Amino acid sequence: MSTRDRILDAAATVLRERGITRTTTKEIARAAGCSEALLYKHFSDKQELFLGVLSERAPRLDAPADLAGRGTVTENVTTLVGQLLAFYARSFPMAASILGAPELLAAHREGLGRRGAGPQGPALQVQAYLDAEVRGGRLAAGVDTEAVARTLAGAALFEAFLATYAGLDAVPETAERARRIVGAVRLGAAAD
């Protein structure tokens, strides 16, 4: 296993246990069995490390291009919501602590903004999928894809919050929960 992978694995564990505000790069380096200087050879700062964990160690969403035009819209959106549930259940404990520290939140927001990242990313991926299906004619042109995507992402985030609050590592009955969330949202004349 490469040093970078060891650092990411350690960061994922420490961030999940302690949250981003209470985690130091020194603690991550210690957990990875390396020096803090070596950690900084691979990651410029804690935000880059956090993004690395999210992009390489958290459950991922299917790319819109991989789903558009395949299966049914409802099946694909249900798949995406299931992936959102897994992503948020994994990442919520890491990120939630930042909300209680305004100065750290501002610095974190600025750091992620410089990298073109932020909490809107998952909803934007869902919206990109929905937009592709509108362009392909499988979803009605009048669907407010931004509102639908934000509604689905918000419901998934809420379920992850509930699971985290209950001390769980995952949303119970993820597939069924995803199906029910999607069933409650009007996709608007999907050609299913």
Q: In angstroms, rounded to a whole number, what is the distance separating the alpha carbons of residues 125 and 127?
A: 5
Supply angle C-alpha 130, 133, 136, rounded to 5.
155
| Dihedral sign, Cα of residue 16, residue 176, residue 161, residue 183 | positive
Q: Which token pair is 186?
A: 């009007």
Q: In angstroms, rounded to a whole number, what is the distance separating the alpha carbons of residues 166 and 172?
A: 11
Q: What is the pLDDT of residues 110-125, one digit of tens each?
A: 877 777 777 888 999 9
Q: What is the pLDDT of residues 44-102, one digit of tens each?
A: 888 788 878 877 877 788 888 899 999 999 999 999 999 999 989 988 877 777 777 78
**Average pLDDT value for the chain:** 88
- Per-residue pLDDT, averaged over 159-178, amounts to 95
The CA distances from residue 158 to 8, 57, 97, 132, in Å, are 26, 21, 16, 26
Q: Which CATH number fits domain 1-57: 1.10.1040.10, 3.40.50.12280, 3.30.930.10, 1.10.10.60?
A: 1.10.10.60
The reported pLDDT for the residue numbered 64 is: 86
Which of 62-76, 126-140, 177-191 is least confident? 177-191
Q: Where are the domains of the chain?
A: 1-57, 60-192
Query: 188 falls in which pLDDT band (50, 70, 90)?
Result: low
CATH number listed for the domain at residues 60-192: 1.10.357
